[in-house]
């Protein structure tokens, strides 16, 4: 059994992106610039955005953070998004989700110019990804594919079972895995799938992305499977400084001994998602 070290791979890629940025700047090019919008004071969002801004510094990007109180109206936020669309110094930007209930996430996402949508959430980018055209691919699915590549895990013809059908992980990941050239056979399971255990027992690769801590148990995993854990549920833990710790969707202690490869939580998929955002920003800047 091999533990997939997402943190280590992410560090390698940080060096690769930083080297490319240095080269661009040395040759008189513009330093890539990522902006982030955060609305309100959601604890998880604060951490994620802070990590994204910190990562910009590590790879040599310029970054800007725009904060708004949750009282901002949808119209005001739409206007601000439009101002970033028109700001030629900013190569790409994200609006951190979730947004307050009175603001439509769909409307805001669709207002972002597809050429600056480095999250890959705009329907134009999602559609292009589905039919295999160049686009910004959302961060978690592309981070997972990068892990397969770097660990030389063969996906062609394999039975990939995805647990979860979210718009930002399950659905785009299914599309990428079945793409020509990747060539997996994909099954998606969700809350209404009656025989998840049986389906998992026929899998070569299981990707758990349902947000239920320790959902995937040892009796659901065939020997030799590759298991990827996308879960990051915060559970209270008084022994940590933050007062919580992250729990994955996989019962790691009991599942790991069965696997050929497995990602831990934290330190598996998580570090790769921010890397994918940086890669998309570099692409946007080069375009």
C-beta of 72 vs 139, nearer to ligand GUN: 139
State the residue number with the nearest CB to ligand GUN: 97
Q: Is 119 annotated in the active site?
A: yes
User: Is residue 52 flagged as an active site residue?
Assistant: yes
User: With respect to ligand GUN, which residue has the nearer C-beta, 203 or 228?
Assistant: 228
User: Which of the residues 5, 91, 96, 116 is marked catalytic?
Assistant: 96
* Closer of 172 and 264 to ligand GUN (Cβ): 172
Cβ at position 183, least distance to ligand GUN in Å: 26
User: From the CB of 45, what's the least distance to ligand GUN, in Å?
Assistant: 7
**Alpha-carbon distance 242 to 77, whole Å?**
31
Instruction: Judge whether 169 and 229 are in contact, CB under 8 Å.
Output: no
Identity of the residue, 23 or 83, whose beta carbon is nearer to ligand GUN in the bound complex: 83
Nearest to 167 by CA among 138, 196, 144, 192: 138
Catalytic hit among 5, 117, 119, 204 = 119
For the chain, the first-to-last Cα distance in angstroms comes to 41
Closest distance to ligand GUN from the beta carbon of 131 (Å): 22
The strand pair at 33-39 and 159-163 is best described as unpaired
For 61-99, b/e burial (b = at least 16 CB within 10 A) is bbbbeeebeeebeeeebbebbeebbeeeebbbbbbbbeb
Q: Do 34 and 91 contact (CB within 8 A), yes or no?
A: yes
Cβ closest to ligand GUN, residue 37 vs residue 226: 37
**DSSP class of residue 227?**
E
Contact status, residue 247 vs residue 231, Cβ threshold 8 Å: yes
Nearest C-alpha neighbor of 50 from the set 159, 83, 41: 41
Closest Cα partner for 74 from 110, 47, 29? 110
Q: Which of 52, 116, 247, 279 is catalytic?
A: 52
Minimal distance, residue 38 CB to ligand GUN, in Å: 9
Helix axes 170-178, 123-130, angle to 10 degrees: 30
Instruction: Answer for the pair 152, 166: CB distance below 8 angstroms, yes or no.
Output: no
Closest distance of CB 224 from ligand GUN, Å: 31
Minimum distance from residue 276 beta carbon to ligand GUN (Å): 9
Residue number with CB closer to ligand GUN (60 or 141) = 141
Cβ 166 vs Cβ 139: under 8 Å:
no
Site residues (CB under 6 A) for ligand GUN?
94-97, 119, 139
Catalytic residue IDs: 52, 96, 119
């Amino acid at each position: 059994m091999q533990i997939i070290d997402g943190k280590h791979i992410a560090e390698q890629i940080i060096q690769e992106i930083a080297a490319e940025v240095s080269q661009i700047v040395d040759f008189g090019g513009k330093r890539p610039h990522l902006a982030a919008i955060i609305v309100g004071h959601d604890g998880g969002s604060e951490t994620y955005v802070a990590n994204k801004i910190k990562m910009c510094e590590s790879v040599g990007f310029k970054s800007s953070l725009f904060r708004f109180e949750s009282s901002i109206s949808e119209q005001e936020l739409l206007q601000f998004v439009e101002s970033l669309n028109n700001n030629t110094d900013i190569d790409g930007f994200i609006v951190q989700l979730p947004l307050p209930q009175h603001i439509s996430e769909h409307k805001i996402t669709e207002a972002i110019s597809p050429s600056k949508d480095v999250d890959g959430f705009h329907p134009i980018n999602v559609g292009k990804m589905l039919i295999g055209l160049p686009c910004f691919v959302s961060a978690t699915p592309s981070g997972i594919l990068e892990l397969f590549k770097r660990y030389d895990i063969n996906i062609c013809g394999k039975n990939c079972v995805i647990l979860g059908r979210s718009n930002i992980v399950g659905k785009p990941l299914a599309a990428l895995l079945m793409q020509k050239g990747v060539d997996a056979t994909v099954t998606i399971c969700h809350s209404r799938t009656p025989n998840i255990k049986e389906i998992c027992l026929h899998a070569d690769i299981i990707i758990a992305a349902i947000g239920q801590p320790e959902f995937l148990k040892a009796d659901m995993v065939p020997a030799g499977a590759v298991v990827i854990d996308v879960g990051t549920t915060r559970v209270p833990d008084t022994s940590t400084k933050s007062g919580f710790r992250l729990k994955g969707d996989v019962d790691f202690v009991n599942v790991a001994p069965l696997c050929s490869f497995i990602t831990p939580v934290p330190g598996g998929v998580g570090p790769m998602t921010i890397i994918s955002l940086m890669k998309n920003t570099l692409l946007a800047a080069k375009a």
